[in-house]
Chains A and B, each alone.
Chain A
Amino acid sequence: MLQILIQGMLLSGLYALIAVGFTLIFSVGRTLNLAYGAYLMLGGYLYFWASQSLGVPKSLAVLMAMAFGVVLGILKFRLIVKPLKGDHIAVEISTLILAVVLQAGVILIFGDSSKILLPIVGGVIYVAGAPVTYNMLIATLASWTILLSLYLFIRRTDIGRAMQAVSMDTKGAAICGIEPDRVNLITWALSGGLGALGGVFFASYTQLAPSMWVGPLIISVAVVIVGGIGSIIGTLIVAHIVGFMEVIVVSVLAPELRGVFTMGLIILVLVLRPQGLFGREEL
């Protein structure tokens, strides 16, 4: 029981970290950024290249990955999202195409065999029979810290309030002197950085592979659909629902049904409560 609790907390923390950048774009820009998984992938690969090939210190490599994610987010907003102005379908299709193109690019540079990231912090302890690696523990703590800081940033700063304002009413924000494009740009940059960071942790959990962008994308979409919102607190809650459900399914029921239950939850929520469990548009 305690084991499930610990393992559930760890996995959920990771999922929350993965989903938060995606949620941000969904709530501010009203766009499902289907290339979000590619930020994670590229963040992970950049970290791998910097820390394991070049020998850059790990903390610096994490920062490099985040900076790279920020640049990607900005480029994507400038080159794709803004020119396509509010045409959500076109943006979503083009982001999906972008993800596939980036995958091909990664294969070209790194080849298609998967790679393992060294843990950012090595070592393992056993708590109540559950193995807890320091890496997972750090990922969970980082996830909580980042989500809390993000929450405070959004609630307490002018830029954060501007992001909320744009997410709720673009015209209302504009007549307060806020430039929605600038706020969107900041949001995309932030989302890119968070995605890359999530990618470093996700990859250090699993592996680096050119196809690795799909899994986190599904988790993120699940969190947004089940939560129905772009709320940070909602993201945290739903990430825990998905994470715990997965650990319970794997531990108590059958491990091969892991993904099925997540999908089942998505479909169930779509049918019974299309607006999502929390169903309102806030940040």
Chain B
Amino acid sequence: MSYLEIKSLSAYYGKAQALSDISLSVEKGEIIAIVGANGAGKSTLLDSIMGLVRQTGQIDFDGSVISGKSTSNIVKSGIGYAPERFNLFPYMSVKDNLLVGAFTAKADTAANLSQVYSLFPRLAERETQETATQSGGERQMVSLGRALMTSPNLLLVDEPTIGLAPKVCQEIAVSLRRMRDDFGLTVVITEQNANFAMTLAERIYVLEAGKMQVEGTVEDLRKDNRLIEAYFGT
């Protein structure tokens, strides 16, 4: 069984079906990317893993079923989440945002905090600043840092580069790779930017209109020009 295994997942917002019959698997230590256009259902997929959306199907993580559990228990089982719009606490300082992240992993607070500051030294410099007054790139760092504070083994990152300058995108890519290489995390990102996804991930899933269309390694996809044109437009 894979580290994260999603079987026949369908998700709903009210009566509208946002995902249908999605299956996906992630091995331990992988970085994978879920690629798709706006509205394809990428964020819904990550929200479903976190138990934030009404769903059917089954999700297993690290050998146990997590679908149907509360978000709080899913976080405790070792999944960290940096959502697309960050969902930060705007009138709290950087440090307080990070400390809220430590809510279920209090024992690791000091260690996690120094890890986050080593990854993002800028956060250490600005730990008293309210996040409402920060730039997009800084907020992305706080969001990733907050997810790390939950002591995760699997990190879900929704659209890490959206709206960020190319230079900042590179910084983020570097830090995501370090999380896997140095801290041993498994990473799942979603992306609209196919190039970014292909430079970072080992495997890619393509999501379109709530359905999984294509799945393969980056090498496989690079060989298939048709696919690249159809889904990535390059």
Contacts and interface: CB of A to CB of B under 8 A. Distances in A.
Contacts of A178: 72, 100, 103
Given A174-B72, A175-B50, A162 B100 contact: yes
Contacts of A169: 87-90
A158 B83 CA distance: 22
A55 interface: no
Given A161-B100, A165-B100, A174 B52 contact: yes
Contact of B72 (A161, A164, A172, A177): A177
A281 interface: yes
A137 to B, nearest CB: 34
Contacts of A173: 89, 100
A168 interface: yes
Interface string B80-114: 01010011111110001001110111100000000
Contacts, number: 74
A112 interface: no
B76 interface: yes
A246 B99 CA distance: 42
Nearest to A280: B91
A161 B96 contact: yes
B127 to A, nearest CB: 14
B103 A281 contact: no
A105 to B, nearest CB: 36
B106 A158 contact: yes
Given A162-B103, A176-B100, A177-B150, A168 B75 contact: no
Given A161-B96, A161-B100, A165-B100, A177 B90 contact: no
A146 B90 CA distance: 26
A161 B71 contact: no
B89 A168 contact: yes
Contacts of A165: 89, 92, 100
Contacts of A87: none
A265 B105 CA distance: 46
A171 interface: yes
Contacts of B106: 158
Nearest to A231: B91
Contacts of A174: 50, 52, 71-72
A92 interface: no
Most chain-A CB neighbours within 10 Å: which of B86, B91, B101, B106? Answer: B91
Interface of B: 50, 52, 70-72, 75-76, 81, 83, 86-92, 96, 99-101, 103-106, 146-147, 149-150
17 contacts: A158-B106, A161-B96, A161-B103, A162-B100, A164-B89, A164-B100, A165-B100, A172-B86, A172-B87, A175-B50, A175-B71, A175-B87, A176-B75, A177-B75, A179-B71, A179-B72, A280-B91
